[in-house]
Structure 1
């Protein structure tokens, strides 16, 4: 993107047939898509983006580890990653992660934070720093 353009991050769900996307088994998947309207990539570059240490950036500007680590994580979770890119139009990377199993028949066998009343939830505090300020966030 060379520092300019629009980057869109979207989540969703998909129901896939076996082998519809890579080696995905049939079932429900959660999707995370990252789409930009940057310069795009040629097919020979797009083929290599998941290789460790592959980068199109100048020396000292990046290590080329980001997409290879995402690829490894998604594979470990038995999901898939797709990439679509057109030079001059941008790139779309979509992660397909296995969705939750079918809903529990009744209550959870072990009460979790979703099942307990709010008064029984326990929270821990974490500090989240940004470049211009600090804020406290709650996490279960």
Structure 2
């Protein structure tokens, strides 16, 4: 029994150190790339490193520009983006579905939103129009100069 009590704190410590996103404090947090306040909870984004460092962004394009210019892919544990249909909820950026629609104005003007499911994407697209994009297409669009 004593051995079990000694092992438990070690297991708890190891499991509590896993890198994970944290909520964005809209109105207070500053975008790591453009240095503007992050205010729109439909477009926020984060990068979490293997060392649990968190970089926050006001839009997907700021995250992708930062990723291209300031961080090595090997350092990245995960990437997160706000679900447009559930403002403030962070979803896995690599599993997200993207829509470029000028009806929905993003903070930096690329006007790409992300949602967690293809069904929600189709609902928004059917209502407002727009073009579906892949993760790689959004990355390229964000880094066009």
TM-score (norm 1): 0.22
Give the greater-gyration-radius structure (CA): 1
TM-score (norm 2): 0.22
Q: Flag the structure with higher strand content.
A: 1
Q: Flag the structure with higher helix content.
A: 2
